[in-house]
């Protein structure tokens, strides 16, 4: 049997309730880029679907190769 996968969806309100300051966000971004440059994360090209001429849906997947954490925007 396949391992159960759980998804966590966050709304804008969920994200705002975390209460991060802009300085904390910048530190986390810096750490993310550091991890990416050291090869510890995988960030493939975003797949896109274009059902109509003026419409699109894009996903932005990423994976932390150390913790096996996967995120998609």
Is 64:73 a contact under the CB 8 Å cutoff?
Answer: no
CB within 8 Å of 47: residues ≥ 6 apart: 58, 59, 61
Question: Which pLDDT value is given to residue 59?
Answer: 84
User: How far, in whole angstroms, is CA 29 from its chain's centroid?
Assistant: 12
| Number of structural domains the chain divides into | 1
pTM for the full predicted model: 0.55
pLDDT digits (tens, 9 = 90+) for 8-56: 788 999 989 999 999 999 998 898 889 888 988 888 888 899 999 999 8
The whole-angstrom separation of Cα 43 and Cα 63 is: 7
Q: Exposed e or buried b for every residue in 41-63, given b needs 16+ CB within 10 A?
A: beeeeeeeeeeeeeeeeeeeebb
In a domain, 33, yes or no: yes
Domain encompassing residue 68: 12-72
In a domain, 24, yes or no: yes
């Amino acid at each position: 049997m396949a391992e159960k996968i759980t998804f966590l969806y966050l709304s804008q309100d969920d994200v705002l309730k975390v209460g991060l300051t802009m300085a904390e966000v910048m530190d986390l971004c810096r750490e993310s880029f550091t991890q990416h440059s050291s090869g510890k994360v995988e960030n493939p090209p975003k797949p896109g679907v274009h059902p109509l001429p003026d419409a699109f849906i894009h996903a932005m997947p990423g994976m932390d190769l150390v913790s096996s954490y996967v995120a998609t925007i």
